[in-house]
Amino acid sequence: MHEANRMKRLPLYLFTIIDHLKDEARQKGIDIVDLGMGNPDQPTPRHVVDELCKQARRPENHRYPRPNEPAEMKLKEAIADWYKDRFNVELDPRYEVLPLIGSKEGVAHLSLAFLNHDDMALVPSPAYPVHFNGVIMAGGILYNIPLTCENNFKPDLKSISRSVVNMAKMLFLSYPHNPTTTVVDLDFYEQVARWAKDKDIVIASDLAYSDIVFDGYKAPSILQVKGIKEKVIEFHTLSKSYNMPGWRIGYAVGSRTILASLAKTKSYIDFGIFRPIQYAAIKALSGSQDCVKATVETYKKRRDVFVEGLNSIGWKVDKPRATFYIWTRIPLKYDALTSMEFAELLVNETGVVVAPGTGFGEYGEGYVRFALVENEQRLKIAVERIKKVLDMQT
Ligand SMILES: Cc1ncc(COP(=O)(O)O)c(C=O)c1O
């Protein structure tokens, strides 16, 4: 059996790499502190789980969901209300909101909906892998925009040549940023809007971490920029804010024409989201947001413990203002190693699993990412073990 060429063009998948590192260490009997995948460890709020159970007992919820039936409309309205409340952005629930089977699904299918084989997608690197892998799978041309320490991990759009821009049909953005934890303010999106003004380009903004913010920072939505809606699709997820990663529910909002193309693509592939999950999502979005506050507080405490711990053992790291990640250069002592080699060393010597920077694209080289998805106690253990690697004679 020969796989399609487009599958061969894909780089090794980040989470496959992480699973492989973990399996090898486990087989050696090493205790794993798993800070590899950004897989939230806290439980889904009780009232959301209760709603799922209640709705799962109703036979009418066992059928295929169909767009714009009462359950589907209620979810779209809850999403539009959430956007109004959170960003003061008005959305028409019928045409400007599209629920997804997780935002990853929507991002992947967006490339399929828009890219021909000679269309280019401008994708920052490093990035959440589906931003670039979706382009490759769709058969489009991937153009990496380097995000580096020098440009504060923000894309320098003006430096992209005219010939590239002429071929570009899509631009991906995602702030607060996974993996670099960079945040932006509304002025950044105003600049993007000015750059995009005379261009026929879809701007895809992935806002997965808008709620996971600290120290008074508030993440804006690109849709807060006046007049930009017709070029924009913004992705959101319940996975992080409401600890619902396994439920597979997210959504896209923005331009009705872009959403219609994505909905059309999806209509050939899936039947939407299991209705009890939709009802549970309505509860999450429109119920008390205290659960989100509690989740953020937990991540903040973990961030403080872990960053202060790393600094105390000589690995200098700043506290991020958003996301539950720590993005950091490989310690100087080991900077001759690739990020993959360093991740391997760390798991073999300490059992601490991290994501190698190159799992997020070529400009991730030299970095690793810690996901703070273990409790404070385990994070302290991770720091103690990492100290041994820093103190090791090499
Ligand atoms: C930037 C970003 N977008 C999307 C996702 C995936 O979200 P979902 O669970 O909705 O597919 C993640 C998950 O880590 C992410 O980091």
CA of 11 to the centre of ligand 1 (A): 18
Best residue for ligand 1 mutational test, from 103, 183, 238, 372 (most atoms within 8 Å of Cβ):
103
Token code pair at residue 387: 């100290």
Ligand 1: residue whose CA is nearest its atom 12: 208
In this predicted structure, what is the pLDDT of residue 394? 73
In this predicted structure, what is the pLDDT of residue 315? 96
In this predicted structure, what is the pLDDT of residue 5? 87
Query: Model-level pTM?
Result: 0.97
CB 318 within 8 A of CB 303: no
- In the chain, where the domains are located: 5-43+290-391, 46-286
In ligand 1, the atom with minimum distance to the C-alpha of 127 is 1
In this predicted structure, what is the pLDDT of residue 391? 93
Question: Which stretch of DSSP H or E encloses residue 131?
Answer: helix 130-138
In this predicted structure, what is the pLDDT of residue 179? 98
Residue 210 phi, psi dihedral angles, 5° rounding: -60, -25
Best residue for ligand 1 mutational test, from 237, 241, 242, 327 (most atoms within 8 Å of Cβ):
237
Angstrom CA distances, 121 to 161, 265, 394, stand at 14, 18, 43
C-alpha closest to that of 277 among 252, 244, 253: 244
Look up the CATH architecture of domain 5-43+290-391: Alpha-Beta Complex (3.90)
- The gap between the terminal CA atoms of the chain, to the nearest Å, is 45
Identify the segments of the chain with pLDDT beneath 50.
none
Residues with Cβ within 8 Å of residue 121, at least 6 apart in sequence: 111, 115, 132, 135, 140, 141, 142, 143, 168, 169, 170, 171, 172
Length of the chain: 394
C-alpha closest to that of 259 among 103, 65, 73, 97: 97
CB 111 within 8 A of CB 120: no
Look at domain 46-286 and name its CATH class: alpha beta
CA of 243 to the centre of ligand 1 (A): 12
Ligand 1: residue whose CA is nearest its atom 14: 38
CA of 109 to the centre of ligand 1 (A): 14
C-alpha dihedral sign at 172, 40, 216, 181: negative
Using CB distances shorter than 6 Å, the residues near ligand 1 are 38, 102-104, 128, 174, 178, 206, 208, 237, 239, 245, 250
CA of 94 to the centre of ligand 1 (A): 24
In this predicted structure, what is the pLDDT of residue 88? 98
CA of 103 to the centre of ligand 1 (A): 6
Long-range Cβ contacts of 254-258 (<8 Å, 24+ apart): 254/96, 254/223, 254/229, 255/96, 255/202, 255/229, 255/230, 255/231, 256/92, 256/95, 256/96, 257/230, 258/110, 258/114, 258/202, 258/232, 258/233
Question: Which stretch of DSSP H or E encloses residue 298?
Answer: helix 290-312
Query: 333 in helix, strand or coil?
Result: helix
In this predicted structure, what is the pLDDT of residue 248? 98
